[in-house]
Amino acid sequence: MLEIKNISKQFGDAFVLKGIDLCCAEGQTLSVLGASGCGKTTLLKSIAGLIPMETGSVLFNGQDLTNVEPEKRGIVYLSQEPSLFPHMSAFDNVAFGLKVRKEDASSIEKKVTEMLQSLGLWEHRTKKPNELSGGQKQRVAFGRALVITPKVVLLDEPFGSLDAGTRSEMQAFYLELAKMYKMTALFITHDLKEALVTGDQFARMEQGQLTLFSSLEAFAEDPTSGVKEEINFWNNLKNDAQ
């Protein structure tokens, strides 16, 4: 289980994160919904160890990772851009984390082949990132992250740069993948539908503070989540049409 206790972060005089606590059960996805500038990216980068925190701790299954270097945390951060290495093929991109860990060549070959097949990218294995579509690039980025079996995956609006159709496809693909690899993940988005589709647990972030909801119903009931507004919008549209 991922446990975050009392994380605070300050930039100058402004507190971007104000004592955030959260828990995410192993194999589950916690969807965090929030508007731009509410501190979502700062929260993920603090958890990954990419930026220092003022206060707080990061624990995974009781192990304190707060002072562990980002390279050794086993927490992978995936951003909106796939950030594939441009000089490497899709195969080499996926193999990167395993090569860094100095795994033997046959084991890398086997794991990467399996991963690319499960991602539906086997026929694109020799292609460079500039030869792949946006959705394919994001799949490679997922494969590159998951092949090293990380403790936690932090997803910072990973489908934000994709068009609506590909985005829906990728959301369905994410669900499959999360189930298949029993992913423990924090999925940050400003898209309500995406939060509802991808999450097992739900939270809302506003002005550096995080509210964790006990269930989907509790999330939907909360007036700030926007679920009710969305339902009302579609109901009104339906009524108007009739």
Partner 1 sequence: MMRKYTPWMLMLFFLAPILLITLLAFSGSWVYPSILPSFDSDRWMEFLGSSSLGIKPFLISTVLAVLVSLLSASIGFFTSYLLTGKARNWLLWLCLIPFCTAPVILAANFQYFFILLHLSASTVGVIIAQLFIGVPYTFLLFSTYWNEEQLTMDTAAKTLGATPFTRLLRVHFPAAKSLFTIAVIQLFLFSWFEYGMTQYIGVGQLKTLTVEVFKYTQEGNTTVAALASLLLILPPFIAILVIRKVRIAHA
Q: Which residues bind partner 1 (CB under 8 A)?
A: 48, 50, 70-79, 81, 83, 85-88, 96-97, 99-101, 141, 144-145, 148
Nearer to partner 1, 159 or 213 (CB): 159
In the complex with partner 1, which residue's Cβ is closer, 99 or 193?
99
Tell me, what amino acid is at 180? M
CB of 109 to partner 1, least distance (A): 18
Q: Which is nearer to partner 1, 101 or 228 (CB)?
A: 101
CB nearer partner 1, residue 73 or residue 204? 73
| Minimum distance from residue 241 beta carbon to partner 1 (Å) | 44
CB of 84 to partner 1, least distance (A): 8
Nearer to partner 1, 51 or 192 (CB): 51
- Alpha helices per DSSP H over the chain: 40-48, 70-73, 90-100, 105-119, 134-146, 164-180, 192-198, 216-221, 227-241
For residue 141 the two structure tokens come to: 């980025």
Smallest gap from Cβ 102 to partner 1, in A, equals: 10
Question: Could you tell me the strand order of the sheet in which 55-60 lies?
Answer: 14-24, 2-11, 55-60, 63-64
Minimum gap (Å) between residue 75 Cβ and partner 1: 6
Among 94, 81, 90, CA closest to 129: 90
Q: Give whichever of 8 and 79 is closer to partner 1, judged by the CB atom.
A: 79
Quote the CA–CA distance of 226 and 170 in Å, as a whole number: 23
Contact call for residues 141 and 110 (beta carbons, < 8 A): no
Report how far residue 193's alpha carbon sits from residue 191's, in angstroms, rounded to the nearest whole number. Answer: 6
97 Cβ neighbours under 8 A, 6+ residues apart:
144, 145, 147, 148
Question: Would you give the end-to-end CA distance of the chain in angstroms?
Answer: 48
In the complex, the smallest distance separating the C-beta of residue 107 from partner 1, rounded to whole angstroms, is 15
